[in-house]
Each structure stands twice: as structure tokens, then as C-alpha cells.
Structure 1
């Protein structure tokens, strides 16, 4: 069973289910393991002593064992103070609950103690595996003590499972992943474009690029039937309540950076990346995103917004991505990211009427939401939102004007032809189309679904659903282009929490992206003015972001006595005191005199 991407993991199982052996196998490759034993002393029980001896015999010689049975709060303290480079194995929480309920520790606030343990697990910087009995499947015990134990253990399991990023249930030696849940099979409308294992050839360079198949990449989701797929998520409507990133771990992660042993002044602008990752992962020691999925939304817009574009160009780019070719696919392969092409309904000319009808918009929203949920269920740790389609920049400008009151000419970038020349006629045609669409809808309410139906179209609607689904699944999203920020503006009006799960890689010098980012409170991580295509810009920056997170998680703290300032810079040297050249003040009353004291005294006589 593959369990890549976990940092804190809870293993549940019944008696003799194999849960301890499975937990030990997960950390077998660690250079050293701190084994936190919770079992009480066997006393005069030979069978219990045999169980403890069997556990000890399985542990490798390079593991250290610590007994945490004296004080229930000690387990939380050990977990909270663990170092990022350590690996901890707790076996098991049933023994810990037994100690917690022991009369010698009463009266005590057991609820607070359990909350402290869950908080320590949630913020643990080390890799942590906890083992616990699953007793909730049996009959309710008939004794008061038995009921107290099962009730307490059930509460502990729930609290710890919520704090862990992965939960596995072992039944008869077979591990079953409970969190994140295993994704559902692909719908019939999802087909694998590259059906064989032969590498594709990039037509631009002649180099081979690995094609990706199945749910990890090379997938194309077609419009129509796929958009009607049912989902069990809450209905998309204004006022949705979605999770927020952890507001405390971000500042804690930034404060921790100041203590790391780096020779220079520190992480600079990349502190923002560490803070974002810490908040979205819920730990002050975030880890680099290992599992990344690129969702390429392909949707065209007809009418004046598409002025100056080459017919069929966006379809060619989407087909390139399906075949594992082109800029986006190459960058995805270099980053180890999967790539999925998502077909959105084409939009009608917005200057003459709605881009889509309301039913199509709702289907597109739900489809995007489902795509994000499937990614979260598959263990994806970061989504990169990409887009290709004609008319996307002008459509984004229309959405920005409708939601933020922007002037279309101020947020529409210049139109540049394939030959590198500026096409002012096409730019004016786009401005006119957006102006006419805004005039046509001037009396509309401008709620989120209406903006998508009248102005945004299918690609922005699918992208909006992706952002909402990602926020619901606590999945961060990397943005970098007009479709992504336009979806961010619309999703903000449906659920204000969605934008807090977004990170902007680069604004590419696009005035619309720059203004939308300001409205959303997203500061671009870089100012490289990249224009490789929406999504490709983010993948170009991704290795830099991963490097920052790897350093933040793996560097040791500075040695004792290194007294740098909080920002990581060397302290300023103390200024030397300037010499005082002032004349001394007289010691007593009367005029100041420079004559000898005895002369002055003679005159006085």
C-alpha cells in the first residue's frame, strides 16, 4: 500500500489485527526512530509481559525507547518538542488512555489533556506515527469502567484522527486508507489520451517527454456528460462556509525561520511561501509539496473578446498537453506533476447575450468542484490552475470590471501577434466587446452565478468550482493568469475563505492580473514577467518554492550564543561614544573665574 505524502499518521486496528507491525513498517527506512511506549508495567501478568517482550524484540537496534506512562501530559510534550529531522512512533493510545483514567491521576481535566495531545500532533514538526485500538465496532461494555475506557478512547481517536493528515485502518492485516479517502474511479467521460507507454516527442525540440496516463495525468475531461456527474458536496451558492487555513501556524513558521542556521540574512520574500504552506498544512514546519496536479482548463470565447487570435490555436495547445508535449507538459514532467486537461463549454459572444445559460454554469461549477475533490482524495498536496483558450484575457477583464469596478482599457493587456507586433485594432475590438457587454448587463444584480453566465463563460466557471472544491478539501492552489484570478474574484463572492487557499506565482506584467491580485490580497511571489502560458509560469517558479520549504523544514537551528536579530541579520555594532569637549561647569555659585583659587580669596579679604 502506497502512503506517500504523509507527515502525521494514525494507524487504527483491532486486537491482533497487525496494526503495530504495519506502523513499524512505515518507519523502517528511517535512520533512527524514537519509540514512545505507553504500556503500563506488566506486574504479575505473564501474558501481558509476553506481549511487551514481543514488541521489544521487533524493534531494530538503532531505535530508542522512551516510556511515557508516568504522566499523561508528557506524551504531548514529547511530540510538541520533537525536531523536524526526527521520526516518532507512539504505540499505543489505548495504553495512554488507561494511564489517563488511572485513579492516581484524578481528579484531572481529561478533556483538556486530550485537546493538548491533538494540538501537539497537529503542530508536530517531525514525522509521527500513532497506533491506537479501534474499539468502536464491538458491543457497548456492560461495566462502568469498560464504558469509560471505550468512550474515552473513541474521543481520543476522533481528536487525533482530525489532527493527522493520514489515517489508516488495519483489518486482518490489510491496511485500508480512511483519510484522505481513496478517489472514485474516473467517469466514462474521462478518457486516457495517451493509451500506451511510449514517450511522446516534443515537436519543438525533438526531445522525448514522458506521457502520463490514468488519474495521475494525461487525462482529458470532456464537456457535456462529464459535467452532469453527481457530487455529494454542499450546494454552491452565496454564503458558503469553507475551512480557513490555520491562522496561528503561519506566523509561527516565520518566527521559526529567524532561528535557522543560515549564513545570510534569511529567506527574504520567500517567507511568504513558508507562511502560506504552514497555514495550509496546519504545522509551523511545513514540508515541500510532493504530489502536485496541474488542471488545464480549455475553453474558448467567441465574439470580439477573441479579436486578434489564431483560429484553432487553443485547441492545438490543449492537444499538445494531452500528448505530453509543449511547454506545460514539459514543465509538469520536470516537476514530477501530473497533468489533466479539462474541457469547458465554449462561451457565446458576451456583447450580444449571455456567455452560457445558468444551468450550464451550475454544471461547470459542480464539475470543477468535483475535480478538486478527486485531487484531494487522491492525496494531491498542491493544485496548479492552468488555462488555455481564446478570449480569456478580455473575459477576465470583463469579470474584473463587473466585480471590482475596473475600467476595461486599464486592465486589458496589449494584443501581440505571433510575429511579435502590437495589434492595436484587435485591442480596440476587445475593449469594445467588453464595454458593450458591461453596458448590456448594467441593470443586472452582478451576483456570482450571474457574472459567470453573462460574462465569465465555461472556463472561468470550471476554475471557480476548482477553487471552491480545493478550499473545501484544504488543498492549496497556485495561480498565475487571468482565468485563475477571475475565478478567484467570483469564488470570493461565493465563499470568502477560498482566496486564502490561493498563492500567486507571478503576475506576468498583466495589468488585469495585477489589479485582481490587489483586490484579492494576493502578493505575487516573483516579478519575473513570465509569459509562458497560464499555469506554465507557476510551474517555472515551483522548484524555487519547494527549495524554500525544504530548507525551512530541514535546516537546524543556530548554535547557542549566536545573537542575530529577529529578521536573521547580523546585529549592528555598538557606536563608540564621542569625546566631550565642553568646558566644565563651576562647582558652586558665583561668576566663573580662571584665576588661581588663592588669588580670588585674597581679593575677597
Structure 2
């Protein structure tokens, strides 16, 4: 297994999996190796002594050994003190965690010590290999000490894996790459071919047809990002702000190495349900937020709080990259270019809606694509460059404080390319996912629709034996718009920035990005499916639910901006509404008088009812009536000291206010009791 270009590697594996032997093979060509042993001594355990002896016997005589078992905090110091040109092999983190949890080193802040180790690994200038047992696949231990060990080792493995360039899992002696290393190009070799609008193949289009195409220098570096401005609502006295597209300068930055299996962050899986539960406590009449609960849950998860704030900083990324051949059948020549220039000038539907929402607008020219029915849409180099370019655009937005990205597209033939991607990744039939072709006058062009179906069918037949790898799909079928959009989604996920999807290009890019990093779809929200069959099917595959069904046809991106004020209103209400007050009744309040009541719900002894034990309907012990069981009609005996005096409550509101005895309206006494 070739691992050229790595600086730090974490080798994981189970017991007797061969992880240590594989780690030692990675540094076998080093002139000298500093072996850092972390395990404690064997003591009186002969079997453990034999294991340690076997490890020592495998080490070449040129290796030096350094032990850190006496102090687990020293491992981070050893790694941090390493110099460039050195090679360190740490074997292993399981022994290090065992020492860290040893009662002799308690109390110890395990979390802080693990963080120190990860920071030292991340900053280490030497070549570093770390070995660690993988305990995440085993059963949960039945003892507290066993659970503490697995928890601490799992946390250490995650922290160190995040800090390392490469992570390898060894299973039954077979190394499996989990995290690819970022390999920098050699100084003598030119950088990867840049993002261009031309496809260097005979018979393919040239940059001349693209509006504001991003020029590229001879070294082939990525173009400078287009300027971003907030359009202003048009008036009779001012002109719209020009937003523009890519500039003439170029950047030599190579960007991240985008490979399948990227480890990107996930939204908070607890904040979303907590936010929805909180909605039930707000002072909202009737059923509350309805479908918009999804918006609150999504914003809470992506912001990591149960009380999410509304998106105040929004940026629209308009991708323009035309397709040629049958995919673009039925489109007016130059229409997409006109739309892109119109948006760049602050005019048209998209710019007007961006102004209404106070959103920034960035027009981005993607590479033009060759006819997909004849050959690849892009070269492999163009795909790599487009992915890195999109990633960089998302990073720039996050650095500028953008809280929500809106993905838009206006390329000719983009719908057919998105249908081809959907058919290749989800097994759909082209006629089922290709929307009807609508003419400029609102009519239906069935001939153009059939030409698009034929182009997609021929492209799928041409690539039937090719890999369905994400980059291969982009190169063969996806084209420039979808490739740049895929990079934007990956970069936005890496920077924890949510994306509002709208239209077939956005959902096609989400399908492709899912195969590079499965976390991306959890950062996407679908505003409206617009009645497009491709969007409907892709949303179902991705597990996305359209928030509205307005069937808007304003253009990709404009539909989302139309719905955005509604989404913002839901978040503003969820954040600002007070908690519903509790309406409880005090048992001793005037609203619910204490004491016995008669059959009509009134307090006994007030009005016409007398306490039980007096057949004459008068209160016992008041006036000439004697208490029950006393034959004398004389004055009352004083009450015992331990018996509290009883006072009839005085009711509030209408009705009698006196507690003096009164004659019952029922002389028979049948109502009493």
C-alpha cells in the first residue's frame, strides 16, 4: 500500500490484527527511528512480558527507544519537541490510556490531556506514526473501569485521527485507508490543470461563448473569485450595482485533496429535536408552525442551539456554464449568457429578489461542457479544479460571515445533465426525470424534449461500463456547473454553513457530493421542488422534503429567494416569542373556596344549608341550637385549646356577604348533607 506524501499517520486495528507490523513497515526506510513505548512494565505477568519482548525483538538496532509510562502527559511533550527530519513511532495509545487511567495518576483531567496530545500531533514537524487499538467495534464492557477505558480510548482515537494526515485501519493484516493524505505537488512539476471554460478536445467549445469567463494563467491556477455585492432596489435616479464575474488574476493555491470518504462535520443531532420541543411551549395559538417546524429544526441543528437565530447574512451563488449537443436542445443561443450578464448588472428576477432579501449575489462562470452523448463533458483535471474552486468559494463566504448560501444556476442544458447524473446515481429513467421543454412563449416543445432524452440515453449507454465513482460521473455526465456546485456543497459542509437548494443542478450536485462525503446532505434544505420530476426524485433519494409546493418557475435560485422571507419569519418567531404562561388555580384562593360544599356547589353553612348534625337547618353551636349529642340548650362549653377555631369564608362577588345564621329555605332539612 503506497502512502507517499504523508507526514502523520494513525494506524488502527484490533488485537493481533497486524497493526504494529504495518506501522513499522511505514518507517522501515528511515535512517533512524525514535520508538516511543507507552505501556507500563509487565510486573509479574509472564504473558505480557513475552508480548513486550516480541516487540523489542522486531526493532532494528538503529532505532532508539523512549518510554513515557511514568508520566502520560510526557507523550505530548516528546511529540511537540520532535524536529524536522526525525521519524517517530508511537506504539501504542491503548497503553498510554491505560497509564492515564491508572489510580497512581489520578485525579487527572483526561479530556485536557487528550487535547494536548492532539495539538502536539497536529503541530509536529517530524514524520509521525501512531498505533492504537480500535475498540469501537466491540461490545460495551460490563465493568465501570472497562467502560472508562473504552470511552477514553475512543475519544483519544477520534482526536488524534482528526489531527493526522492519514488514518489506516488494519483488519486481519489488510490495511484499509480511512482518511487520505493531502499530497502536495512536487516543486518541479506544474500545478493541476486549472478551472477553465474551454475543454481541450477537438470539436469541443471554446471560451468565447461564455459571459465573463474566468481567465486562467499559463500555470493553470484557479481563477480569482468573482466580486460580491448586495443589489439595490432599482429607482429612477440610481442604477443597479454591477456584481460581475471572475477576474483576470489567478491563484496558485491548490486547495484540498477531495477524495471519497471525506470526514466532514455533522449537524447537532440533539439541538433539532430540542428546538421542536421548545416550539410546543411558545405562546402560539392553535397548531403553531406546521411544516415550518422543519426549518426551525434544521437551523437549530446547523447552528448547534435549541433557539436558532434567523439567517441575516445570505449569499446567492449563480453558476453559469453551458452544455452543448442534444442536452441544450430547445434553448435560445446566448440566452443563458444574457441571464448571467443581467444578474451581474443587478437586473432581472434573481437580482431583484436578492435586493429584496438583502442578499449578496456572486456570478460564477463554470467550465463549458462538451456534448455528453459523444464523449466526456470535462477532463479529469477540470473536474479536480472545479471541485477545489467550489470549495474555495464556500470558504470565502464563510470567512465573510455568510450564514446561508443559496445555490442557483442558469446554464443551457443543465436540466439534461442533472437528469443524466440522477439516472447514473439513482437508476432513474431519463424520460421520467426530464421536465418538459417550455418555449419562450410558454408553449411545449416536444421535439426538443425528445432530443434531450436521446442525448441522455446515449450518454448513459456510452458510459455503461464505466465506474459510477463521483468524479467519473462529473467528468462523463455532470459538467462544469454541477462540478463547481459539488465543491461548494463540500466546502460549505466543512465550514458548517447551510445551503438552500433550488432546482435540478443543486440536487444533482448534492447526490454527487453524498458519494464524496455523506454528511453534505444534512446541511442542505430544499425550498420548493417547482414541480420538476428530477428534483422530486432526487429529494426522495436524499431524504429531503420540499418546504413548499408553489410550483414556481422563476428560475433556479429565484424560487428559493421567494420562499426565504417565509423561512426567516419562522425563525424570528421561534426565537422571539415568549413561553406560554401556565394557568393554574390555587387551592386556597378565592376562586376555589376551601371547605365542604353542598349539593349545589356552594360552601356548606352559607346560605340555606346547615352543617350535618342539625336537623333544623341552622348552624350547630350558633344561636339556640345545641351541638349534636348534647341534650342541653344552654351556653356552649369553651373549645379545647388543641382544636382550631373555624371561620366561614366570606365569598367575593354577588351573593350574601354575612355569615350570620339564616333559616333554611328547605324546612324539611332534606338538602342538608
TM norm. shorter chain > 0.5: yes
Match of 1:302 in 2: 324
Match of 1:220 in 2: 245
Partner Cα separation in structure 1 for residue 113 and residue 357 of structure 2:
40
Distance change (3 Å), C-alpha of 1:114 and 1:275: farther
From 360, 367, 385, give the equivalent of 1:338: 360
SS of the residue corresponding to residue 489 of structure 1 reads: helix
Match of 1:461 in 2: 483
Match of 2:198 in 1: none
From 531, 551, 557, give the equivalent of 1:509: 531
Measured after TM superposition, the shift of residue 263 of structure 1 is 1.8
Partner Cα separation in structure 2 for residue 313 and residue 562 of structure 1:
66
Measured after TM superposition, the shift of residue 211 of structure 1 is 1.7
Measured after TM superposition, the shift of residue 265 of structure 1 is 1.2
- Is the Cα–Cα contact under 8 Å of residues 367 and 480 in structure 2 kept in the other structure? yes
Measured after TM superposition, the shift of residue 437 of structure 1 is 0.3
Between Structure 1 and Structure 2, which shows a larger proportion of helix residues? 1
- Is the Cα–Cα contact under 8 Å of residues 193 and 323 in structure 1 kept in the other structure? no
Measured after TM superposition, the shift of residue 324 of structure 1 is 0.5
Does residue 263 in structure 1 map to residue 285 in structure 2? yes
Measured after TM superposition, the shift of residue 309 of structure 1 is 0.3
Partner Cα separation in structure 2 for residue 408 and residue 188 of structure 1:
34
SS of the residue corresponding to residue 415 of structure 1 reads: coil
1:518-539 CA-to-partner distances (Å, cap 9, x unmatched) read: 0010000100011111111100
Measured after TM superposition, the shift of residue 446 of structure 1 is 1.1
Measured after TM superposition, the shift of residue 293 of structure 1 is 0.5
From 385, 393, 399, give the equivalent of 2:421: 399
- Is the Cα–Cα contact under 8 Å of residues 242 and 495 in structure 1 kept in the other structure? yes
From 261, 270, 289, give the equivalent of 1:248: 270
Measured after TM superposition, the shift of residue 192 of structure 1 is 4.9
Does residue 322 in structure 1 map to residue 347 in structure 2? no
Partner Cα separation in structure 2 for residue 188 and residue 548 of structure 1:
38
Q: Which has the higher contact order (CA 8 A, sep 6+)?
A: 1
- Is the Cα–Cα contact under 8 Å of residues 309 and 571 in structure 2 kept in the other structure? yes
SS of the residue corresponding to residue 220 of structure 1 reads: coil
Distance change (3 Å), C-alpha of 1:499 and 1:192: closer
Match of 1:528 in 2: 550
Measured after TM superposition, the shift of residue 475 of structure 1 is 0.2
Partner Cα separation in structure 1 for residue 488 and residue 261 of structure 2:
17
Partner Cα separation in structure 1 for residue 313 and residue 224 of structure 2:
24
Does residue 211 in structure 1 map to residue 209 in structure 2? no
Does residue 452 in structure 1 map to residue 453 in structure 2? no
- Is the Cα–Cα contact under 8 Å of residues 231 and 360 in structure 2 kept in the other structure? no
Does residue 388 in structure 1 map to residue 410 in structure 2? yes
Partner Cα separation in structure 2 for residue 262 and residue 200 of structure 1:
34
Partner Cα separation in structure 1 for residue 274 and residue 352 of structure 2:
36
Measured after TM superposition, the shift of residue 200 of structure 1 is 8.6
- Is the Cα–Cα contact under 8 Å of residues 231 and 355 in structure 2 kept in the other structure? no
Measured after TM superposition, the shift of residue 384 of structure 1 is 0.3
Match of 1:49 in 2: none
Measured after TM superposition, the shift of residue 351 of structure 1 is 0.3
Measured after TM superposition, the shift of residue 478 of structure 1 is 0.1
1:384-403 CA-to-partner distances (Å, cap 9, x unmatched) read: 00101100111100000000
1:407-448 CA-to-partner distances (Å, cap 9, x unmatched) read: 000000001101111100000000000000000000001100
Does residue 481 in structure 1 map to residue 503 in structure 2? yes
Provide TM-score, normalisation by structure 1: 0.59
Distance change (3 Å), C-alpha of 1:522 and 1:198: closer
Partner Cα separation in structure 1 for residue 237 and residue 408 of structure 2:
23
Match of 1:559 in 2: 581
Match of 2:307 in 1: 285
Match of 1:32 in 2: none
Match of 1:496 in 2: 518
SS of the residue corresponding to residue 221 of structure 1 reads: coil
- Is the Cα–Cα contact under 8 Å of residues 365 and 462 in structure 1 kept in the other structure? yes
- Is the Cα–Cα contact under 8 Å of residues 225 and 393 in structure 2 kept in the other structure? no
Does residue 230 in structure 1 map to residue 260 in structure 2? no
The equivalences for 1:15-94 within 5 A come to: none
Distance change (3 Å), C-alpha of 1:208 and 1:109: farther
Provide TM-score, normalisation by structure 2: 0.53
Match of 2:388 in 1: 366
SS of the residue corresponding to residue 362 of structure 1 reads: helix
Measured after TM superposition, the shift of residue 114 of structure 1 is 13
1:330-358 CA-to-partner distances (Å, cap 9, x unmatched) read: 10011000000010000000000000100
Partner Cα separation in structure 1 for residue 278 and residue 231 of structure 2:
46
Partner Cα separation in structure 2 for residue 562 and residue 392 of structure 1:
60
- Is the Cα–Cα contact under 8 Å of residues 200 and 208 in structure 1 kept in the other structure? no
Measured after TM superposition, the shift of residue 562 of structure 1 is 7.7
Partner Cα separation in structure 2 for residue 259 and residue 110 of structure 1:
38
Q: Which has the larger radius of gyration?
A: 2
Distance change (3 Å), C-alpha of 1:497 and 1:252: same
Does residue 430 in structure 1 map to residue 430 in structure 2? no
Partner Cα separation in structure 2 for residue 430 and residue 562 of structure 1:
66
For structure 2, which runs of at least 5 residues remain unmatched after alignment?
Answer: 1-105, 115-158, 160-221, 586-673
Partner Cα separation in structure 2 for residue 314 and residue 473 of structure 1:
31
